[in-house]
Amino acid sequence: MGPAPELAEDGRIGILETLPADRNRLNLSALLTGLREHGYIEGQDLQIEYRSANGQDDRFPVLAAELVRLRPDLIVTRGTPATKAAKEATDTIPIVFTAIGGPIGAGVIPTLARPGGNVTGLSAFQRN
């Protein structure tokens, strides 16, 4: 994984998620805590743009395009459909994915060692 992207002075992070924010509080809280630990405070120097497909995968392309138009410094995705939609929507904004079982098989990255492009992240995939 390469170095973390630097956020602009007034940073903006797009989040593309399957679940609505009220059903994703633990994950969102953990992300905001980590950002605070690195000096980024939502509402002060950081804006979060949260978009949820509400369990409807066909909404991801429209939501991803909407986030890209907002020009965030980074897009965080959860799940394969969200990640694929974000990857299709931009090849310049960094994308960090979570909760993907097999990102190579899903066509999200070419290899785990060198994901390349603008996409990297965390996988639940394990080798036996």
**How many domains does the chain fold into?**
1
Q: Report pLDDT digits (tens) over 67-117.
A: 999 999 999 999 999 999 999 999 999 999 998 888 998 999 998 888 889
CA atoms within 13 A on the CB side of 120: 15
Could you tell me if residue 35 is inside a domain?
yes
Could you tell me if residue 97 is inside a domain?
yes
DSSP result, 49-108: EEEE-TT-GGGHHHHHHHHHHT--SEEEEESHHHHHHHHHH-SSS-EEEEEES-TTTTTS
Reduced to 3 states (helix: H, G, I; strand: E, B; else coil), residue 38 is: coil
Q: Are 99 and 124 in contact (CB under 8 A)?
A: yes
Mean pLDDT, rounded, for 25-48: 92
Q: Is the pLDDT of residue 65 over 60?
A: yes
Could you tell me if residue 64 is inside a domain?
yes
Cα–Cα distance between 16 and 66 in angstroms, integer?
10
> Which pTM does this prediction carry?
0.87
Could you tell me if residue 128 is inside a domain?
no
Could you tell me if residue 15 is inside a domain?
yes
Q: What is the CATH number of the domain that holds 68?
A: 3.40.50.2300
Q: Report pLDDT digits (tens) over 110-126.
A: 988 888 899 999 886 55
pLDDT on residue 51: 96
User: Which domain, by its residues, includes 65?
Assistant: 11-123
Instruction: Say how far residue 20 (Cα) sits from the centre of its chain.
Output: 15
